[in-house]
């Protein structure tokens, strides 16, 4: 059960929505728990899909997680300034992050510091936003990771491997310059391949 990288390292899991990133993060974390490793999982507080203190996949599996507002809050929790792991100051063996694309730029130095300190860091997040552009901190994390897994979903239009997330507003492809968060808008997301991914210019 030792890491193939001889110590701390960074693993990144990416792909579009519905590609199973949360499922894969849950799978890796659950195996670590079975091996009696100490695990802490974090997710941004903005994603309250299904449960505020769990990472949940679209298929219903879940694992306990701390909802945080910033990478600094993760630092504080790991330093033991707030009760986590019953006040232990020792770092966990494994630290997981879901929806990593929504974290601030401080996530990159934090991931590197943890990896240097011997922690196995597992990040799951969207590599591309709805426009098909690199998403936030993800390119930086992908470049620095020891291991990268790109997952695909199933294109809802043709059944091919889907690498993109289609954003629909009132059933129509979103505009390139639409705000990332649209308050009160009738929006939805679908997995699509490159051919069927559409952005209104
Ligand atoms: P992600 O974290 O990448 O959004 P999840 O792990 O939450 O993905 O969910 C993956 C699950 O979503 C799949 O196992 C499947 O049950 C479901 N799903 C819904 N739509 C699709 C699709 N178009 N392609 C693949 N899986 C889908």
- Tens of pLDDT, residue by residue over 134-149, are 999 999 999 999 999 9
> Is 188 near ligand 1, meaning CB less than 6 Å away?
no
Give the chain's mean pLDDT: 90
Here the tokens at position 154 are 């199933």
Domains of the chain: 9-151 (3.40.50.300), 152-201 (3.30.60.20)
ipTM value, please give it.
0.94
CA 154–ligand 1 middle distance (angstroms): 8
For 87, which DSSP code? G
Atom of ligand 1 nearest to the CA of 24: 6
CA 108–ligand 1 middle distance (angstroms): 26
Residue 55: the pLDDT is 82
CA 165–ligand 1 middle distance (angstroms): 11
Q: Which residue's entry shows tokens 């232990």?
A: 88
Position with higher pLDDT, 183 vs 28: 28
CA distances from 141 to 60, 137, 175 (A): 27, 6, 27
**43, 58, 100, 193: which to mutate for ligand 1, most atoms within 8 A of CB?**
58
To 10 degrees, what angle do helices 107-116 and 71-79 make? 30
Residue 81: the pLDDT is 62
Q: What is the pLDDT of residues 15-51, one digit of tens each?
A: 999 999 999 999 999 999 999 999 999 999 975 554 5
Q: Give phi and psi for 22, each to the nearest 5.
A: -65, -40
Q: Reply yes or no on whether 99 is catalytic.
A: yes
Here the tokens at position 192 are 């699509």
pLDDT band at residue 57 using 50, 70 and 90 as cut-offs: confident
Residue 83: the pLDDT is 54
């Amino acid at each position: 059960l030792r890491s193939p990288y001889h110590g701390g390292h960074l693993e990144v899991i990416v792909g579009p929505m519905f590609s199973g990133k949360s499922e894969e993060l849950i799978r890796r974390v659950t195996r670590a728990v079975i091996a009696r490793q100490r695990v802490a999982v974090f997710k941004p507080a903005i994603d309250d899909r299904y449960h505020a203190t769990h990472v949940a996949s679209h298929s219903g599996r879940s694992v306990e997680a701390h909802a945080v507002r910033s990478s600094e809050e993760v630092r504080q929790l790991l330093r033991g300034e707030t009760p986590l792991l019953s006040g232990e100051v020792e770092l966990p063996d494994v630290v997981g992050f879901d929806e990593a694309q929504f974290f601030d730029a401080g996530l990159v130095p934090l991931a590197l510091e943890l990896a240097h300190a011997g922690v196995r860091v597992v990040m799951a997040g969207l590599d591309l936003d709805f426009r098909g552009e690199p998403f936030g901190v993800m390119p930086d994390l992908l470049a620095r990771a020891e291991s990268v897994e790109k997952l695909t979903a199933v294109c809802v239009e043709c059944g091919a491997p889907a690498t993109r997330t289609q954003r629909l507003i009132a059933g129509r492809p979103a505009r390139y310059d639409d705000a990332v968060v649209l308050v009160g808008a009738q929006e939805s997301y679908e997995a699509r391949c490159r051919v069927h991914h559409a952005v209104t210019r």
